Structure 1
């Protein structure tokens, strides 16, 4: 019954946002209405992680189906750019953390983990493993950052940037498949998600289908059936409902002075991402919408949905976002611990001198 309430509220949110011409209405509507609904009734709405993962499998398949061998070669040639963009974006997030530390009473460790543009769940897990990190502060900072990005980037991509012209997305071409083809690719996507979870890949329910579908298309040289638009919208509702149910707005009042610095930092990172996007578009020839989504400090899920809606090159976007995601998950924890260690050592030395 609780899930049904969440679903109804999410659908209403999607409908309202559609009439308001909001960007990504079927994702943002559920997020806003479920989060605000939880605030009004003073207890959170609930949503199934399993249902969200099923929706992510569908979205992952939709993002993996345009992949070709030529796309793979182009992506490999851009790897130095991907790594450079990742380092610049993470550095901008680190500078935001320093500003947050200087203008609030939150400790440096928490500021660092709260401001770096990684996934909400990944940063919260890392904060739980590092001593003196304020888990609540990290969660609030990452939540506010995620909300800012989820609202601003789709708006800029849809209403400000030149329209994308990539023809391989589900929105651009409706290529119906036979029942046998649909079942085959569905099995490929599901097996990809299961395998990705077994080997502990980040965002496994989405990343697994992306990789398995792309690999199957390249190996078999076959065209993957498109996902009808209503299915994409339904998947967005299911994902948005989960994000909205995970946001606790009642905790925002606990940290005064955080919002202004954090939003300023988000604006800084967005400006850096836009500059990087323009540079990459000029260097590689890809359209600006794809380049911006590739460098934007959002999560793979949110940027992937935006890419599907605006017709951007989802394969290139996934490659750039995946590079940053893997860097943050595999390399950044060691960097964060090293920075925190040096900071503690410096602070201890100053205390000893005093």
Structure 2
């Protein structure tokens, strides 16, 4: 019964945002309505992780299906740019953390983990492992950053950048194209198998990344064209994902840390400007359209940026490659960088 209430509220949110011409209405609508609904009734709505993961499998398939061998070669050629963009984005996050520390009473460790543009869950887990980190502060900062990015980046991409390329125009040209039942069942099995294998080997965002990789690999190996996902299926998947994000946001905690909001929003703006600059450079150097380049370097999550790429018809393969590079860097390399920065700061404060 609780899931039904969440679903109804999510659908109403999607409809309302559609009438308001908001970016990503079927994702942002459920987030806003479910989060505000939890705040008003003073207890959270709930949503199933399994349902969200099922929706991510569909979205992952939709992002993986345009991949070709030529796309793979182009991505490999851009790998140095991917590493450069990742390092610059992380550096902007570290600068934001320093500004946050200087203007609030939150300790430097918590600011560092709260401001770097990684995934919410990954940063919270890392905060739990590092001494002196304030888990609540990190959670609130990452939540505010996520909400800012989820609202701002789709708006910029859809209403400002998409018009600079033919991406948006081509997004819906084949939305009604469908394969045979055998093709649909085959690719469904490939996507589900990819999600299962990705979870087994502990890949980040496995329910989405697994289908992206397995679908892309199957398309390249077999040389077949994967069936297009009808647009209303994409919208339904967005509702299911947005419901989960909205149920995970606890707005009642935002008042606990005064002075955080303005600094964090300024930091988000800084990272967005850096990402926009990197996107312009990548677009000029590689010939990639600006919408794709911006989504590739934007400090959002793979899920949110992937949905935006599908909506505007951006190159999902290139976007995923850049976002995955940053995600893996933050998960595998940044913990050591964070610990080193914190240790250096402690030595300076102890000696000073």
- Is TM more than 0.5 here? yes
Consecutive unaligned residues in structure 1, runs of 5 or more: none
Deviation (angstroms), 1:170:
6.5
- Paired residue for 2:334? 332
- Paired residue for 1:227? 229
Report the aligned-residue RMSD.
Answer: 1.2
- Paired residue for 2:203? 201
- Paired residue for 1:165? 166
- Paired residue for 2:28? 28
- Paired residue for 1:48? 48
- Whether contact under 8 Å (2:167, 2:312) holds in the other structure is no
Deviation sequence 1:190-241 (CA, Å, 0-9, x none): 0000000000000000000000000000000000000000000000000000
Aligned pairs (5 A) from 1:335-354 = 335-350=337-352
Deviation (angstroms), 1:6:
0.3
**Secondary structure in 1 matching 2:229:** coil
- Cα distance in 1 for residues equivalent to 2:299 and 2:161: 17
- Whether contact under 8 Å (1:90, 1:116) holds in the other structure is yes
Deviation (angstroms), 1:168:
11
- Cα distance in 2 for residues equivalent to 1:160 and 1:258: 29
Deviation sequence 1:113-163 (CA, Å, 0-9, x none): 000000111101110111110000000000000000000000000111143
- The 4+ residue runs of structure 1 with deviation greater than 4 A are 166-170
- Paired residue for 1:272? 274
- Paired residue for 2:64? 64
- Paired residue for 1:177? 179
- Cα distance in 1 for residues equivalent to 2:211 and 2:169: 17
Deviation (angstroms), 1:349:
1.4
Consecutive unaligned residues in structure 2, runs of 5 or more: none
- Whether contact under 8 Å (1:66, 1:168) holds in the other structure is no
- Paired residue for 1:133? 133
- Cα distance in 2 for residues equivalent to 1:326 and 1:298: 14
- Paired residue for 1:242? 244
1:121 and 2:126 aligned: no
**Secondary structure in 1 matching 2:333:** helix
Deviation (angstroms), 1:284:
0.4
- Cα distance in 1 for residues equivalent to 2:183 and 2:6: 34
- Whether contact under 8 Å (2:162, 2:168) holds in the other structure is no
- Cα distance in 2 for residues equivalent to 1:165 and 1:253: 43
Deviation (angstroms), 1:46:
0.2
Length-normalised TM-score, structure 1: 0.97
- Cα distance in 2 for residues equivalent to 1:78 and 1:50: 35
Deviation (angstroms), 1:167:
8.8
CA 1:316–1:225: 2 relative to 1, 3 Å = same
- Paired residue for 2:255? 253
My pick for the range that moved more, 312-321 or 163-172, is 163-172
